[in-house]
Structure 1
C-alpha cells in the first residue's frame, strides 16, 4: 500500500492521543490501551480546564484576565472535547472511511491516476505539517513565556504561579506537588495542541482524497464517452457507465460520512475561533489605546495564536470550496466530452449522472452554514470589524493574506 507521509504523521499523532478510528495491533494484545485517550483527557480536565474555570471566579472583576483565561485554555479545550467526542462517537463510520481510503490507494493502477492522488496528498501533507508546527510553536511560546514568569517570581521571592492561570488548593504550591502540576500542565498543553491539529489534518487529508478521486472519475467519464470502441457496443457502454455510477455513489457516501461526522465539530470550531480572534484583538486594542505597549513574547504569542486560528478556519473553508467544485465537476465532465455522438439511449443514461450531480457536495457547520471562501471572508470581517482601529484591522488582514499565500505556495510546490 502507498502510505503518504501526511497519513503517517496524522496516524501516529492520533494513535498517541488514542483517537485513531482503526484498532491498533497493540490494542488487540492489551485491551486497556483502548482507553488510553482518557490520559490526555485527564491532563486537560484536571490540570487545565477545571483549575482555569475555577480561577474565573477569582478574576471576575478583571476583564483582561478573564479574556486571557478563556482564550488560552478554556475555549480551545472545549473545541478539543468536541473533537474527542466526535472521534469516539463516529469511530465505526470513520474506521470504514479510513479503510476505504486505504483500498482506494491499493486499487490505483494507472500512472496518471497515481500522480493525481499523490499531488493532492502532497498538498495535504504540507498543510498538515504546517498546522502541526504552528500549533506546537504557539504552545511552546506560551510555555516559555510562563516559565520566564515563574523564574522571575522565584528569584524575587513572590508567590508561586503555575504554568497556566489556575486556582489550586494551597498544598499544590508546595514542593514536589508544585513541580508535578507544572509538568502536567506542560504535557496537557502539548496534548491540546496535538489533538487540536491532528483531527483537523485528518479532515484535510480525506477531503483532498475525495477531490482526487473525483478528478479520476471525471477522466473516466470523458474517456468512456469519447471512446468509439465502447460506443459501438451498447452493452459495453452500459457496463462502463455502471462502474462510473457506482464509483460516483461511493464518493458521495465518502463525502457525506465525513460531513455527517464532523459538521457539529466544524460549527463549534468556527464559532470559538472567531471569538478567540475577537478577544485577542481586544487585548491588542486595549494595550494600544492605553499606550501600555506589549512585551516581545506577548506579541509573538498573539501573532502565532491569531494566525493559527485563522489558518484552521481558512483551510476548513478552502476544503469546503474544493469539495463543491470537485463534486459539481461531474456535469462539466459530461459536457466536455463528445456527448453529441451518443445515441438517445446512451444519452438518457448520462443524464442520470448529470441529474445526480446537480446538487454539489458540501462541508457545513452544523448543517446550516456552508463552509466556503465566502464563509471565511465573513468570519474574518466579523472578527476584524469589532473595532475601527487600523492596528487591529491590520492584524486580521495580515492573517487572512498569510492564509491565502500559504495555500497558493503549497499548490505551486505540488
Structure 2
C-alpha cells in the first residue's frame, strides 16, 4: 500500500492509529486523546476567563485557535469509529492497483494520478508546517522584542489558562516547547487528512478514466478480452466497484465535511477580525498565513467535490457518444452503465449539500458578513 499513498500520509495515518495492521494503534489513539484533551481543557479555561473579564479581542483570538483543535478531535473520533470503512477503502485501492498490473496503459493512468497526489500531499503538508513555523517564530521574536518581558506576561503559542504559574523560567520554556511540538504535530495531521482526501479523489479520477478507456475499446473492437461477454463483464464490474468506492468515501468524509464548514466559517471570521483590528505588521503577517492555511482546508474539500463532479460529467458524454456509435445488439450493454451513471459521484456536506467551489465562495461570503458583526460588537 505504500506505493498508492504518499509516505508522509502513511506515516500520519500510522501516527493517529488508523493505518491497517499498525502494531501500536491503540497506544497512538490514547496519546492523541490525552494530548488533545488536556490542550482543549486549558484552551476552554482561557475562553471562559476572557468571557468573565469581558476581554472581547482575546476571546475572538482564542476561539480562532481553539476551534481547529476541536475539529481535529472530532475528525479523529469519526475516523476511529469508521476503522472498518477506512480499511475497505484502502483494500479497494490495493485491488484496483493489482488489476492494473497486467495492462500497461491502465498502469500509466494510475501512476500519473499517483504522482500528482504525491506532489499535492507534500505541498499541503508543507504549507501547514510552514504556517506553524512562521507563527511560532513571530511569537518568539515579539517576546524577545518586548522590553518589559521580565515584568509582563509573556505570550504563548496557544492561549491557555494553566492551573500553575508558567511565566517564569524554566517552566515557561518547557510550556512553549510542548506547545510548539503539539502545534507542529497537529498541523501536520490536519494537512495529512486534507492530502488523504485528495489522494482518494485522484484515485477515483483514475478509475473513471480506465472505465472510459474500457468502453472505448469495447465498442471500437480493440479490447483486451477475446470474448465480448468477458469484456463487457469486466467494464461493468469496474464501474460497480468505482461507484462502491465513491460511496465509501462519501460515508467517511460526509460528516467530517459538515463539521469542517461549521468551524471553518467561524475560524475564518475570527482570523479576518484579528487582521483588521491588529496594528503591528508582524502580527498581521503571522495571522495572515494562518488565515491562508484555514482557507486552504475548506478549499481542498470543495475542490475535491467539484473535481469529482466534473469527472462524472466527462463520463456521461462518453456514454452518449458510445450509444450513438454502437450496434443495436451491443447498445443494450450500455443500459446498465447508463442507469448506474444517473447517480452522480460527489461529496456532500453531511448529506445536505454537494461540495463545490460555489460552496467555498458562499463560506467566504458568510465569514465576511460575520466579521462586520464582530467589528460592531467590539
TM-score (norm. length: structure 1): 0.82
Among 24, 32, 42, which residue is 1:40 paired with? 32
Q: Shift in Å at residue 43 of structure 1?
A: 2.2
Match runs of 1:136-215 below 5 Å? 136-151=129-144, 152=146, 155-159=149-153, 161-173=155-167, 176-215=170-209
| CA-to-aligned-CA distance 1:175-208 (integer Å, 9 cap, x gap) | 5544433322222111210221111211110110
The structure-2 alpha-carbon separation of the partners of 1:143 and 1:387, relative to structure 1 and needing over 3 Å to count, comes to: closer
Q: In the aligned structure 2, how far is the partner of 1:387 from the partner of 1:194?
A: 28
Q: Which residue of 2 aligns with 1:308?
A: 293
Q: Compared with structure 1, are the counterparts of its residues 62 and 17 closer, same or farther at alpha carbon in structure 2 (3 Å cutoff)?
A: same
Q: Distance in 2 between matches of 1:160 and 1:78?
A: 25
Deviation at 1:324, TM superposition (A): 1.5
Given that 1:139 and 1:190 are in contact with CA atoms closer than 8 Å, whether structure 2 keeps it comes out as yes
Q: 1:385 to 1:120 in 2, by over 3 A?
A: farther
Unaligned runs of 5+ in 1: 288-292, 393-414
1:221 counterpart (215, 222, 231) = 215
Matched, 1:89 2:73: no
Q: Deviations over 1:109-164 (max 9, x none)?
A: 33322222222222222221121111111112222233334444785333455432
**How far apart are 1:35 and its partner, in Å?**
2.2
Quote the residue 1:337 is aligned against. Answer: 322
- Superposed displacement of residue 224, structure 1: 0.3
Q: Distance in 2 between matches of 1:107 and 1:178?
A: 56
- Given the alignment, which residue of 322, 332, 337 partners 1:348? 332
Counterparts of 1:13-412 in structure 2, within 5 Å, are 13-20=12-19, 22-24=20-22, 27=23, 33-46=25-38, 48-60=39-51, 61-72=54-65, 74-108=66-100, 109-151=102-144, 152=146, 155-159=149-153, 161-173=155-167, 176-227=170-221, 236-287=227-278, 293-296=279-282, 298-337=283-322, 339-344=324-329, 346-386=330-370
CA distance in 2, matches of 1:206, 1:230: 27
Assess, with a 3 A threshold, how the Cα gap between structure 1 residues 33 and 121 changes in structure 2: closer, same or farther. closer
Change (3 A) 1:386 1:172: closer
159-168 or 196-205, which deviates more: 159-168
Task: Please name the residue that 1:406 is paired with.
Answer: none
Does the 8 A contact of 1:117 with 1:212 survive in 2?
A: yes
Change (3 A) 1:337 1:45: same
Deviation at 1:165, TM superposition (A): 1.4
1:256-287 C-alpha deviation (Å, 9 max, x unpaired): 10110111111111221122111122222334
- RMSD of aligned Cα (Å): 2.6
Contact 1:214 1:251 in 2 (8 A): yes
Deviation of the 1:338 alpha carbon: 6.6
Contact 1:43 1:185 (8 Å CA) reproduced: no
CA contact (8 A) 1:222 1:336 kept: no
